[in-house]
Amino acid sequence: MSVSQEPIIKTTKLTKIYETGFRGEEVKALIDLDLEIYSGEIFGYLGPNGSGKTTTIKLLLGLIFPTYGEIFVLGTSDINSPAVKKNIGYLPEGAFYPDFLRGEEILHFYGQLYGLTGRELRKRVDYVLDLVGMTHARRRMLKGYSKGMRQRIGLAQALISDPKILILDEPTTGLDPIARKEIRDILARLRDEGKTLFISSHELLEVEMISNRVGILFDGVLRVSGTLDELLEIKDRIVEFANATEDKIKIIIDKGGEIFDQIDSKVFLRAKSDDDIYNVIELGRSVGLSLVKITPRRESLEELFVRVITSAEAERRTKNE
């Protein structure tokens, strides 16, 4: 991934203000979004519910229109042109497909819209059905599909044309753990095939597992974006001790030690900086604990998320006052 490369998706100052109700109340769903997605990237687009993820995706697909700002996809601002759309597969949020059609009929139909025909189309339908594990239900009407099955068919229709770019809006939300794992495996496979993935989610662990770059959106504003290496700070050192008892731990807490975790007779203390390590070791020794090891710990995506959202909320509160 070279920096000089043209981004595949680019937005500048992208803003969407919805007008609702009869009095035209404004909802600022997205504000001045500058985003660049490069070929081959797996971009995790994060944010709590209502932060503007779906709005962004619908703008990228031309389903709704910007209040102002610009969108470029594959180098052009005519994002609705069939030439651009040919390269995009999209999985909408929630699973809504024509109920009165069979699984394979739907894929057949969507494939036709991409210009696939005949043998080629049939081969693609077979392939994607197999990929999402739906071959057994291909002749059944969608009416009888479970939510997980619908989501798989959704993923299959997004993949039918073997597109370069995949835009997935909360692909695993609302699924059971097994279905989630399976969808995640498919996504990992697509990543390995070199596709560009734009995944919106609030399932942080999943995003952390698969993405190489993330952006965190809150209240329509992109708060941070970057690679996980850039964003997740290594601040903490975890110091592990053995021979812990309840009494000893109580003393440590009284003396201002920060307990990170505790398993049986093991206790893990947090050191906030390199210098702090010595204080923590000294503290442990003073109550008779024996040092086991010291490990640096990278912040999890969840902690970053909470940190970013908390400060954004604080900012909002001060603004309102």
Partner 1 sequence: MSKVIEFVKGPWYIAVYTWREGLRRKTLVGFLILSLLVIFGATFMTSFLNQATVGDVTTDMDLKLIKDICVTTISIFGVLITIFISASVVPVEVENRIIYTVLSKPVRRFQYLLGKFLGAQLIIIMNLCLMGGLFFVALYIKQRILPTLLLWSVFLTYFEFLIVSALTFAVACASSSSVLPTIAGLFIYITGSLTEYLKDVYNRSGQTGEFLDSLIGYLAYILWNILPNLQRFSLKTQIVNSQPNDPPTDVLIPQLVLYALIYAVSGYIIAYWIFRKREV
Ligand X SMILES: Nc1ncnc2c1ncn2[C@@H]1O[C@H](COP(=O)(O)OP(=O)(O)O)[C@@H](O)[C@H]1O
Smallest distance from ligand X to CB 52, Å: 4
Return the residue of 83, 144, 192, 282 that touches partner 1, per CB under 8 A.
Answer: 83
Q: Which residues 63-82 are close enough to bind partner 1 by CB under 8 A? A: 63-65, 80, 82
Measured CA to CA, the distance from residue 305 to residue 29 in angstroms comes to 19
Structure tokens at 70: 């610009």
Measured CA to CA, the distance from residue 44 to residue 225 in angstroms comes to 9
Query: Count of residues binding partner 1 (CB under 8 A)?
Result: 30
Smallest distance from partner 1 to CB 182, Å: 21
The reply on whether position 165 binds partner 1 by CB under 8 A is: no
The binder of 226, among partner 1, Mg ion, ligand X, none, by C-beta within 5 to 8 A per type, is none
Residue 218 burial (CB count, 10 A): 23
Smallest distance from ligand X to CB 127, Å: 30
Query: Count of residues binding ligand X (CB under 6 A)?
Result: 12
Return the residue of 7, 15, 27, 251 that touches ligand X, per CB under 6 A.
Answer: 27
Footprint of Mg ion (CB under 5 A):
53-54, 93
Q: Is the dihedral of CA 55, 60, 63, 65 positive or negative?
A: positive
Of 53 and 124, nearer to Mg ion (C-beta) is 53
Q: Is 194 exposed, middle or buried (0-12, 13-18, 19+ CB in 10 A)?
A: exposed
The reply on whether position 49 binds ligand X by CB under 6 A is: yes
The 3-state secondary structure of 54-109 reads: HHHHHHHCCCCCCCEEEEEECCECCCCCHHHHCCEEEECCCCCCCCCCEHHHHHHH
The binder of 50, among partner 1, ligand X, Mg ion, none, by C-beta within 5 to 8 A per type, is ligand X
Hey, what's the torsion of the CAs at 292, 295, 299, 301, to 10 degrees? -90
The reply on whether position 320 binds ligand X by CB under 6 A is: no
In sequence order, what E strands does the chain have? 9-20, 25-37, 42-46, 68-73, 88-91, 165-169, 196-201, 213-218, 221-227, 234-242, 259-263, 266-271, 290-298
Applying CB under 6 A, the span of 47-55, 75-83, 262-270, 313-321 interacting with ligand X comes to 47-55
Of 53 and 180, nearer to ligand X (C-beta) is 53
Q: Which residues pair with 297 in a beta bridge?
A: 236
The reply on whether position 88 binds partner 1 by CB under 8 A is: yes
The reply on whether position 101 binds partner 1 by CB under 8 A is: yes
The reply on whether position 162 binds partner 1 by CB under 8 A is: no
CB 82 within 8 A of CB 113: no
Of 111 and 154, nearer to ligand X (C-beta) is 154
β-pairing, 25-37 with 9-20? antiparallel
The reply on whether position 308 binds ligand X by CB under 6 A is: no
The reply on whether position 129 binds partner 1 by CB under 8 A is: no
Q: Could you list the residues that contact ligand X (CB under 6 A)?
A: 18, 20, 27, 29, 47, 49-55
